[in-house]
């Protein structure tokens, strides 16, 4: 039973880390290919010497082709690992996109039912209360304090972006932020899409590590929600919330 458990653990590990493992093997394979190519060239020179160094190309090929078999095997394996890693990434991205579509469909159906049962105004109020509660919980893990809020140069109103990992405080102007949103959503119909980092740039905020993988299209426009919130110290902040769409979701 213990051996079976170890095998299952190994299978799960390989499945979850297949892309990283193949990438490492690809890097290793490049080094091996360079080394074997050098060694095989030395063998080929020796083979040509034994064969009397034929002057015609066919004679040279027949005398040396077997020497390069290790290089060919190494190069083929390296290329296979590169394509395998790419395939794993595409497969994972497709699975994430499918999960996103399913979760979005479920959420939209749920929101429609909530609005149907309690009304649009109460549903909006409930949504704002939930987002405020989530933002308050994030404060315990937010590495940035209010006093360290980023100065964007566009205003002095305090904002809290709850979507950015760990949360982010910055100062800006509500009308300015909304104007940038409107400009981006107008431009999207000619540019077809824009990503999260474009939003960060326009708002004067740092780029996100995976910002280019989160896009907005005519079917999925950037639609932030701005919820006023009274903090414990009496200061007012505006909580920003929005949905991120993985690249590849139509």
**pLDDT tens digit string along 33-75?**
888 887 878 887 777 777 776 677 777 777 777 777 888 888 8
On the CB side of 245, CA atoms within 13 Å amount to 19
- 218 vs 176, which has greater pLDDT? 176
Per the domain annotation, does 155 fall within a domain?
yes
Per the domain annotation, does 100 fall within a domain?
no
Domain total for the chain? 2
What pTM, to 2 d.p., does this model score?
A: 0.49
On whether both 145 and 197 belong to a single domain, the answer is: yes
On whether both 148 and 228 belong to a single domain, the answer is: yes
Show Cβ contacts of residue 55 under 8 Å, excluding neighbours closer than 6 positions. none
- At residue 170, the pLDDT reads 93
Per the domain annotation, does 107 fall within a domain?
no
Give residue-wise pLDDT tens across range 15-30: 666 777 777 877 777 8
Per the domain annotation, does 177 fall within a domain?
yes
On whether both 227 and 138 belong to a single domain, the answer is: yes
Give residue-wise pLDDT tens across range 98-115: 554 545 555 566 667 666
On whether both 19 and 74 belong to a single domain, the answer is: yes
**Which domain range does residue 194 map to?**
119-241
Phi, psi at 111, each rounded to 5°: -60, -40
On whether both 131 and 82 belong to a single domain, the answer is: no
On whether both 51 and 155 belong to a single domain, the answer is: no
Per the domain annotation, does 150 fall within a domain?
yes
Lowest mean pLDDT among 38-52, 200-214, 215-229: 38-52
Over pLDDT 90: what percentage of the chain?
11
On whether both 86 and 176 belong to a single domain, the answer is: no
Q: How far is CA 108 from CA 102, 103, 140, 141, 219, in A?
A: 10, 9, 30, 29, 15
Give residue-wise pLDDT tens across range 119-156: 777 766 666 666 666 655 555 555 556 778 899 999 99
| d(C-alpha 159, C-alpha 170), whole Å | 5
On whether both 79 and 148 belong to a single domain, the answer is: no
Q: Which of 75, 202, 84 is nearest to 211 (CA)?
A: 202
- At residue 35, the pLDDT reads 82
- The answer to whether 165 and 211 are in contact (CB under 8 A) is no
On whether both 64 and 129 belong to a single domain, the answer is: no
- 20 vs 199, which has greater pLDDT? 199
């Amino acid at each position: 039973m213990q051996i079976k458990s170890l095998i299952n653990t190994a299978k799960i590990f390989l499945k979850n880390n297949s892309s990283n493992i193949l990438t490492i093997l690809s890097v290793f394979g490049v080094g091996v290919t360079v080394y074997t190519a050098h060694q095989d060239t030395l063998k080929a020179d020796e083979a040509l010497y034994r064969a009397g160094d034929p002057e015609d190309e066919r004679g040279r090929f027949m005398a040396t082709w077997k020497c390069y078999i290790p290089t060919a095997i190494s190069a083929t394996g390296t290329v296979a690992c590169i394509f395998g890693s790419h395939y794993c990434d595409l497969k994972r991205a497709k699975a994430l996109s499918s999960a996103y579509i399913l979760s979005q469909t479920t959420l939209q159906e749920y929101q429609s039912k909530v609005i149907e049962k309690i009304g649009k105004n109460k549903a909006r109020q409930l949504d704002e209360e939930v987002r405020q509660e989530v933002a308050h919980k994030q404060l315990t893990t937010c590495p940035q304090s209010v006093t360290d809020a980023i100065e964007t140069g566009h205003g002095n109103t305090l904002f809290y972006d709850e979507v950015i990992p760990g949360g982010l405080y910055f100062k800006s102007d509500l009308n300015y932020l909304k104007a940038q949103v409107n400009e981006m959503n107008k431009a999207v119909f000619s540019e077809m899409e824009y990503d999260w980092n474009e939003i960060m740039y326009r708002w004067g905020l740092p780029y996100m590590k995976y910002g280019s993988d989160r896009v907005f299209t005519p079917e999925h426009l950037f639609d932030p929600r701005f919820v006023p919130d009274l903090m414990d110290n009496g200061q007012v902040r505006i909580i920003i919330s929005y949905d991120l769409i993985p690249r590849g979701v139509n």
